[in-house]
Structure 1
Amino acid sequence: MPRLSVIVPAYNAAGTIASAIRSTLNALPRDAEIVVLDDGSSDATAEAARGVLDARVRVLSRSNRGVAATLNDLIGATDSEYIARMDADDLVLPGRFRRQLGAMGGTVDAVFTTVVTWGSGMPGLPRPSAISEEDFGLHLLLTNPVAHSTMLARRSAVQDVGGYRVLPTEDYDLWLRMAANGARLRRLALPGLAYRVHPGQVTASAQWRRASWENAELAAAYSALAERLIGAPAVRITSLSIDDSRTPDEKRAELDSFTGLFESALHGHAPSAQRALRRKLAERRSWLSARLEEKAVAT
């Protein structure tokens, strides 16, 4: 069995899948494979993927079942020690997998990278900002700090929590459950991926975001991690913003309570990490305040 499997779910990606595979091959270490699963595309995705002639590439096809089911099928179709993610419309940057595998060590369960954005709008260059294993969970309580297609993880850590679930933001849900289960996650500062931005992607949809904020399973996963890290269950700030069962004052009080617990949990973390987390918390508090003010004006 290969040491690393790069799994690539693909749906109607005939125009980008070949370049995605080639960029992955260019960065692929020894003893690794790429496995593409065409999720019932209506275009020539599978044919384009099979057109990249390399023994390290496997291409599978079946009827459409959605991205979470496709990822679980890809995990089931591989048996490597490590699993890495790649999307059918992104590009792997040189050195990505070498740096991630080198950062795993004996205690880390998943390593992510920052990304360079390209496509619609101006290209985005990240500030080279790492997130340590000690700080990653607290970042998850504020926002999802990583792109799904940058993940490299121990297969055992993913399987220990049951793999992916079929719900919005299946990636964020997986990170929450892994962290709540004691997995150690980190983000490297250097970008490992050129992340394509385009108007039609699912994450650009307001409907998709709303579905994520309303999802009960995701809410439970978030609350479980909050209980582990700050000592009490909590509600996502995004979910709090759309909770019509609470008054604006009740929402502010809930956020103030969360802030107090979060601040207490910061003790013992590196000063630079505390500054980054406080800055992000302030951004999230401002975001909720703006949402509450907008709703007050609208009514």
Structure 2
Amino acid sequence: MNNPAISVVMPVYNVEKYVAEAIESVLAQTFDDFELIIVDDGGTDMSVEICTSFDDTRIRIVSQANRGLAGARNTGIMEARGEYIALLDSDDSWEPEKLALHKIHLDNNPHVGVSYSGSRFMDQNGAMLRQAQRPKLENITAKDVLTRNPIGNGSAPVIRRSALEAIAFNHRDEPRRLCFFDETYRQSEDIELWIRMALTGRIVFEGINGLLTRYRIVSGGLSANIAAQYDSWNRVIDKTASYAPGFIQQFGAEARAYQLRYLARRAIQMGEGAFALSLFKESFSFSSTPIIEEPVKSFVTLSAATAMRYLPTTFVRKLAGTWTGGKAVA
């Protein structure tokens, strides 16, 4: 049996509401020489039953005890037979031409290790929002990866297998288990990998035009989730500083400012105006670069946080409708 050109790795953990849509978007790809490796990460709902209802020989299901997203991705990558590895989170989905366009990109640019594209946002019910991720596509530096993360989300990249092999390491407690993502992270595992690939593997990142990923924004949550995300991001910075101290010394403050501004926007999405405003002010205390380089985005963030903090809720919702269609702020 010939190996497929692309292996799609999709972890599944308690996503029964979304997983069918994710699988359907893979099976609808215009490029069909792929395998879909579904990693059952020990969930307790009907997700796996939904996965098994699809009758397609390109689908393989691998089950394991819960390891988290990083561990599930590692398992899927080890199972993969394709030259290219595409990652898809099971609450997201793809446009039909995504795999075809990334394969063309990687086939014609052998120096590129990670190919990615922009993303459209959708709400938790699948309705498309007005916002989108339109990242920098060319001449990506390690600084770009640290400060702006052009890949954007875990469902955007298609990765050359050799790029992953270049940064692989053995699990600390299970020496026979090969890792790509660091399984000690339950958040920020993506950016940790991208930074390590850029710095230690000298992997080239390059994007292609188009909003090819549909990235789901789930509304609601707690400010504690933002604090946990910031803590995990700080762990990434500490780990990076352990092997590239000069790099973090040079660009760490700017990266922190961008991260805090991003978390302020997440707080706005949750309706936490006061918390968002404090995060934005803290961002500015580290570096003014986000305001200088992206004044419009920074101004909108500050305005939204201020409005949510001080204005009546009904008025804020009316303003939000002109920007997000009354959905979420991403």
Residue of structure 2 equivalent to 1:170: 189
1:81-119, CA deviations, whole angstroms, 9 ceiling, x for partnerless residues? 110001111121021111111112211101111111111
1:36-77, CA deviations, whole angstroms, 9 ceiling, x for partnerless residues? 011111111111001111111111222211111111111111
Residue of structure 2 equivalent to 1:206: 226
Q: State whether structure 2 residue 113 is matched by structure 1 residue 109.
A: yes
- Determine the C-alpha separation between the residues in 1 that align with 2:35 and 2:134: 29
- Determine the C-alpha separation between the residues in 2 that align with 1:53 and 1:203: 41
- CA 21–203 in structure 1, closer or farther in 2 if over 3 Å, else same: farther
- Determine the C-alpha separation between the residues in 2 that align with 1:152 and 1:21: 17
> How far does residue 2 in structure 1 lie from its aligned partner after superposition?
1.5
Q: Please say if residues 120 and 128 of structure 2, whose CA atoms lie closer than 8 Å, have aligned partners that are also in contact.
A: no
Identify the match of residue 154 of structure 2 among 143, 148, 166. 148
Residue of structure 1 equivalent to 2:137: 131
Look up the SS of the partner of 1:205 in the other structure: helix
Amino acid at match of 1:22: E
Residue of structure 1 equivalent to 2:269: none
- Determine the C-alpha separation between the residues in 2 that align with 1:93 and 1:62: 29
> How far does residue 155 in structure 1 lie from its aligned partner after superposition?
1.3
> How far does residue 138 in structure 1 lie from its aligned partner after superposition?
3.1
- Determine the C-alpha separation between the residues in 2 that align with 1:158 and 1:96: 20
Look up the SS of the partner of 1:75 in the other structure: helix
Look up the SS of the partner of 2:26 in the other structure: helix
Residue of structure 1 equivalent to 2:317: none
- Determine the C-alpha separation between the residues in 2 that align with 1:203 and 1:54: 42
Look up the SS of the partner of 2:219 in the other structure: coil
> How far does residue 202 in structure 1 lie from its aligned partner after superposition?
10
1:233-270, CA deviations, whole angstroms, 9 ceiling, x for partnerless residues? 745425997xxxxxxxxx989748xx7xxxxxxxxxxx
Residue of structure 1 equivalent to 2:11: 9
Q: Please say if residues 142 and 280 of structure 1, whose CA atoms lie closer than 8 Å, have aligned partners that are also in contact.
A: no
- Determine the C-alpha separation between the residues in 2 that align with 1:171 and 1:277: 25
Gaps in structure 1 of 5+ consecutive residues = 242-250, 260-275, 289-299
- CA 44–98 in structure 1, closer or farther in 2 if over 3 Å, else same: same
Residue of structure 2 equivalent to 1:77: 79
> How far does residue 160 in structure 1 lie from its aligned partner after superposition?
1.4
- Determine the C-alpha separation between the residues in 2 that align with 1:6 and 1:206: 29
- Determine the C-alpha separation between the residues in 2 that align with 1:97 and 1:110: 13
Which structure 2 residues correspond to residues 32-71 of structure 1 after superposition, within 5 A?
32-71=34-73
Amino acid at match of 1:141: L
- Determine the C-alpha separation between the residues in 1 that align with 2:222 and 2:208: 25
Which structure 2 residues correspond to residues 219-258 of structure 1 after superposition, within 5 A?
219-221=238-240, 227=246, 232=250, 234-235=252-253, 236-238=255-257, 255=287
Amino acid at match of 1:177: R
Share of identical aligned residues, percent? 25
Amino acid at match of 1:164: F
Look up the SS of the partner of 2:198 in the other structure: helix
Q: Please say if residues 123 and 219 of structure 2, whose CA atoms lie closer than 8 Å, have aligned partners that are also in contact.
A: no
- Determine the C-alpha separation between the residues in 2 that align with 1:240 and 1:86: 23
Q: Please say if residues 119 and 196 of structure 1, whose CA atoms lie closer than 8 Å, have aligned partners that are also in contact.
A: yes
Gaps in structure 2 of 5+ consecutive residues = 169-179, 261-282, 303-330
- Determine the C-alpha separation between the residues in 2 that align with 1:224 and 1:239: 22
- Determine the C-alpha separation between the residues in 2 that align with 1:19 and 1:164: 25
Q: Please say if residues 119 and 133 of structure 2, whose CA atoms lie closer than 8 Å, have aligned partners that are also in contact.
A: no
Residue of structure 1 equivalent to 2:165: 159
Look up the SS of the partner of 2:130 in the other structure: coil
Aligned pair count reads: 259
- Determine the C-alpha separation between the residues in 1 that align with 2:92 and 2:146: 27
Which structure 2 residues correspond to residues 190-201 of structure 1 after superposition, within 5 A?
190-199=210-219
> How far does residue 199 in structure 1 lie from its aligned partner after superposition?
2.8
Amino acid at match of 2:48: A
1:10-48, CA deviations, whole angstroms, 9 ceiling, x for partnerless residues? 100122212211111111524211000111111111110
- Determine the C-alpha separation between the residues in 1 that align with 2:63 and 2:95: 27
- Determine the C-alpha separation between the residues in 2 that align with 1:98 and 1:19: 19
Q: Please say if residues 176 and 222 of structure 1, whose CA atoms lie closer than 8 Å, have aligned partners that are also in contact.
A: no
- Determine the C-alpha separation between the residues in 1 that align with 2:241 and 2:297: 19
Look up the SS of the partner of 1:109 in the other structure: strand
Amino acid at match of 1:173: E
Residue of structure 2 equivalent to 1:179: 198
Query: TM-score of the superposition, structure 1-length normalised?
Result: 0.74
Query: TM-score of the superposition, structure 2-length normalised?
Result: 0.67
